[in-house]
Amino acid sequence: MMERMELMSIGDFARATGLTPKALRIYDDLRLLPPAEVDERTGYRFYAAEQLEQARLIAALRRVGMPLDRIRVALRLPAAAIAAELTSFWRQTEADVRSRRTQVSALVADLRSKESTMTTTRTPRTRAAHALGRGAREEQLDAVHFGTDLWAVADGFHGTPSVAEEFVRHLASEAQPIGVERWDALAAECAAGLPDDGRGSTFTAVALNGDIATIAHLGDSRAWLMRDGVLRQLTTDHTEVAALLEDGRLSEEEARLHPRRAVLNRALAAGLPTDPDVVGVTVQRGDRLVLTTDGVHALFPAERLGALLAADDADAAVAAVSNAVRDAGEPDNHAIVVIDVEG
C-alpha cells in the first residue's frame, strides 16, 4: 500500500484530470477507474499520480462519445492499439451518420412533396407576456421578439453588438408564415459576415399558423409546451453533450457534470453550422407555449420550472419565473416568453 502522503485526494485528482468527483465515483462504481486506496473508516477515495494519464484518457474518450464498455476494452491495450480502436469507432460513427443522412433526405423529400402552406384552420386567439433581464452581467445580450403570431428569444454571447438583437430585427421584417427553407436562409443571413471572434447567438422562435405552432430552434435556448399541467421540452439543445446524451453515449449524470456541457455545436456564429431545427406542434385551447434562454432554465430542473409556470395566466407565469430567477441570484442574462392559447 502506498503512503497516504503520496496519494491525491479525490478533489485534487478531479482538478488535475478535468473530471469531477462525482464522475470519478461513477467510474469507480463501474470499475473503470478504481481509486488506489479507500479509507476504511470514512470511505474517502485516494488516487495515485500514476493514474492521471489513464483518467485523462477516459475523459477524452467519453468526450467523443465512446461507450464505456469499449473504453474498458481499450484501456487494456497499448497506445497504438487504442488509436486504432478509436479510429475504428469513429469510422463506424461516420458511416452510421452517412446511412441515416441518406434515409433522412429521402424521407424529407417525400414529406415536403405533400406539404401545403395553406391552412383552413383559424389561428386561435392568444394571450402572451414576456420578460427580459440583464442579471449580474455587465451587458444585456439576450433579446426578445414579441409579435402577434410570432415570438422568439435569442441568447447572444461574447460581446457587442449583440447578435441576438440583430436576429430579432431580421425576424421582425419577415413575412408570415415562414417556411422551413426560409428559416434556413434567415439563419444563414444573420450569421453571414460575423467575425470569427467568438461572437454569436442562439434563438428559439414559435410561429402560430392555424392550429400548428412551428418551432424554429438553434442553440440551447428552449421551447416548452405545458398541457394539462404537464411541462414538456419541445427542443433539443445543440450542444456537444446533449448529442452524446441523446445517442446514449453519456448517462444523464455524466452529461450534467460534463465540463463541456455548455459548448454549442450549432449557433448563429462563425465556424458553426447555422441550420436550425424546424418542427411543428398541434396546439389546442388551454395550451401554454414557453420560450426561455439558458439564464432561466439553467437555474431550475424541469419539475421546478413547471411548478412556476403553472400560474393562472401568462402574465402571472412570467412574473413567477422572473421572481424565482431573481431569488436565485440571476447570474446571467435571462429571457422568457409565455403564450397562452385561448381558442
Q: What is the pLDDT of residues 220-269, one digit of tens each?
A: 999 999 999 999 999 999 988 887 777 676 777 777 667 777 789 999 99
Nine cell digits for residue 178: 415562414
Instruction: Calculate mean pLDDT across residues 100-104.
Output: 80
**Could you give all domains of the chain from N- to C-terminal order, each with its CATH number?**
4-76 (1.10.1660.10), 126-341 (3.60.40.10)
- 298-329 confidence digits (pLDDT tens): 999 999 999 999 999 999 999 999 999 999 99
Exposed (0-12), middle (13-18) or buried (19+): which is 222, by Cβ within 10 Å? buried
Query: At residue 212, does pLDDT exceed 60?
Result: yes
Question: What pLDDT is recorded for position 177?
Answer: 82
Residue 119 is classified by DSSP as -
Lowest average pLDDT, out of 54-58, 93-97, 130-134, 258-262, goes to: 258-262
Residue 4: pLDDT band (50, 70, 90) is: low
Query: At residue 127, does pLDDT exceed 80?
Result: yes
CA 246 to chain centre: 11
φ, ψ of residue 249 to 5 degrees: the values are -90, -10
Residue 19 is classified by DSSP as -
| Distance separating alpha carbons of residues 136 and 114, to the nearest angstrom | 49
Query: Quick one: what percent of the chain has pLDDT higher than 90?
Result: 61
Query: At residue 73, does pLDDT exceed 60?
Result: yes
Question: What pLDDT is recorded for position 120?
Answer: 57
Question: What pLDDT is recorded for position 26?
Answer: 87
Nine cell digits for residue 300: 431550475
Question: What pLDDT is recorded for position 109?
Answer: 73
CA angle 224, 236, 138 (to 5 degrees): 80
| Distance separating alpha carbons of residues 102 and 97, to the nearest angstrom | 9
